[in-house]
Structure 1
Amino acid sequence: MSFDLPRNVILPVDAIDVRLDPGPHPFALSNAEAIAENWRQEMATNPALFDGTVVLLSGLAYRDGRLVGRCHAVNYSTFMLWRKRRENSGAEHAYAHAMLVAGDNALVAIRMGSHTVNAGRVYFAAGSFEPIDFRDGMVDVDFNMIREVGEETGLDLSQAERGQRYHALSTASGTVIFRRYRVAETADELARRISAFVAAEAEPEIEGPIIIRNATDLPDGLMPHMKPLIEWHFGGTVS
């Protein structure tokens, strides 16, 4: 399976069939020494990093409104080297965003903590897919979204109103799968709850909440993939 999907355009997605291959990713096998050396350098710069398990794609395609793909569990150290060598690597990254929509239609994002790889960057609370996010070998995207939002912000989105479908945006840096999650509280109320959660955490992942009230309200540190998602939301798309 190759990577065969339109780039730099928001795609409607009705189903996601991304499966976990039990075998090793070819990138991990062919770069073992470089992965170990790069990890030593990364740890010297940021000792707070943890070499946990994430997944990396070996194929992804868009067919008739469906995302179909294959991925492999890899160490985070493998992912870190891949970030530097992604071009022509035979691997790509996919991740999910719960687009948190407040009762006043503002979006609530987060700014990452200073000890993280994406320190200071702004995006919706999210994290890479992990083996725990798979059911019978297939990724459960909503489980990942709800889990990551809960871990980073303390909010429980399990009862939130979900958008009718997913959407996806694929760029050179990866593919983000996103879905609206609507709650009744205002953005200010959500921000207060998130700030209180962060203040109570011994080692919070995030610096705090960021409210985005319109398509031109773009905060410093915004990740590049976020701008088209924000424009899409405030452009009136209802799904």
Structure 2
Amino acid sequence: MNQAVRMTRDVKITRVADVKARFEPLDWPWAKQNQDEIAANWQRRLQKTPKMFNGRVLLLRDIEVMPELCRNTYFEVDYADMLGWIDLGHPDPTIANGFAMGALRGSDGAFICGVMSGDTANGGRVYFPAGTPDRADMQPDGSVDLATSLTRELFEETGLSEADYHVEDEWIVVQRWPAIALMRMVTLYVPAEEGARLIRANIAAQDEPELSDVRIIRGAGDIDPQRMPLFLQSFFRWSFDQR
């Protein structure tokens, strides 16, 4: 993807049959040149959310979306580097946060989003369970397993297992640079209200839940522009227009 396209804030949503992701090392120049700002930002973050851990995560350095296939290339950084880049306004426009995300919905078609706990970096934000890829998603052959990342994050945040839902094979790539959501429809075998009750019960049983609650999204009127990221607002409007 060229620089001019990367810097746009336009939204592009594409259905693809498959996503192929790979890892290629990169010594990120922006992070090297801004270590003081990154460290200061991390300390500010820790004052608000002291339970955060500075692990290693994968950021997106390139993406190619074709009619049937999306190809992604990732590199590894400290979580503090990524947060610094986000909090400072994404100053390197050649990099993106590309993550797998399950578009969770009930058997009645209503979507279910999580409300992030105040102990997380995105406390109060509302979106589908997801997480930035990390070392657990890297395979010996250099590929990045986004399909497993999707179901793992869904289990960690909601307590739902693969016996509770069906995952569509198709991917929906939502591009609003620097956020790239690689989504699959995940449909519960029960209606959204029952699914929400199940998730709330699972959250209540967790020692350190990532979610504080869930929200049911039945139509455009349920979109929350204050708490939902822009890429997700765009996805919902696109989804409701398909009906």
Report SS of the residue matched to 1:35.
Answer: helix
Q: Does 1:36 align with 2:39?
A: yes
2:201 to 175, 182, 196: 196
Report SS of the residue matched to 1:138.
Answer: coil
Contact 2:116 2:212 survives alignment (8 Å): yes
How has the CA–CA distance of structure 1 residues 168 and 42 changed in structure 2, closer, same or farther, with 3 Å as cutoff? same
Contact 2:164 2:189 survives alignment (8 Å): no
Match of 2:219 in 1: 214
**Unpaired segments ≥5 residues, structure 1:** none
Deviation at 1:62, TM superposition (A): 2.0
Q: Within 5 Å, which residues of 2 pair with 1:80-99? A: 80-83=83-86, 84-99=88-103
Contact 1:27 1:91 survives alignment (8 Å): no
Match of 2:181 in 1: 176
Q: Does 1:227 align with 2:227?
A: no
1:167 to 157, 163, 172: 172
Match of 1:127 in 2: 131
Report SS of the residue matched to 2:53.
Answer: coil
Match of 2:110 in 1: 106
Give TM-score, length-normalised by structure 2.
0.87
How has the CA–CA distance of structure 1 residues 29 and 66 changed in structure 2, closer, same or farther, with 3 Å as cutoff? farther
Letter in 2 for 1:235: D
**Unpaired segments ≥5 residues, structure 2:** none
Report SS of the residue matched to 2:221.
Answer: coil
Q: Within 5 Å, which residues of 2 pair with 1:39-54? A: 39-54=42-57
Deviation at 1:225, TM superposition (A): 1.6
Deviation at 1:50, TM superposition (A): 1.2
Deviation at 1:89, TM superposition (A): 4.5
| More displaced 10-residue stretch of structure 1: 27-36 or 112-121 | 27-36
Letter in 1 for 2:38: I
How has the CA–CA distance of structure 1 residues 43 and 18 changed in structure 2, closer, same or farther, with 3 Å as cutoff? same
C-alpha RMSD over aligned residues: 2.2
Deviation at 1:25, TM superposition (A): 3.0
Contact 2:17 2:69 survives alignment (8 Å): yes
Rounded Cα–Cα distance in structure 2 between residues aligned with 1:63 and 1:159:
32
Instruction: Give 4+ residue runs of structure 1 displaced > 4 Å after superposition.
Output: 1-7
Rounded Cα–Cα distance in structure 2 between residues aligned with 1:89 and 1:30:
15
Percent identical: 28
1:112-146 Cα shifts (integer Å, max 9, x gaps):
01122211111001111112113322122210110
Q: Higher helix fraction: Structure 1 or Structure 2? A: 2
Contact 1:103 1:183 survives alignment (8 Å): yes
Contact 2:31 2:81 survives alignment (8 Å): yes
Letter in 1 for 2:54: D
Give TM-score, length-normalised by structure 1.
0.89
Deviation at 1:158, TM superposition (A): 6.0
Report SS of the residue matched to 2:175.
Answer: strand
Deviation at 1:85, TM superposition (A): 4.2
| More displaced 10-residue stretch of structure 1: 146-155 or 42-51 | 42-51
Contact 1:25 1:56 survives alignment (8 Å): no
1:14 to 8, 13, 17: 17
How has the CA–CA distance of structure 1 residues 95 and 146 changed in structure 2, closer, same or farther, with 3 Å as cutoff? same
Deviation at 1:70, TM superposition (A): 1.8
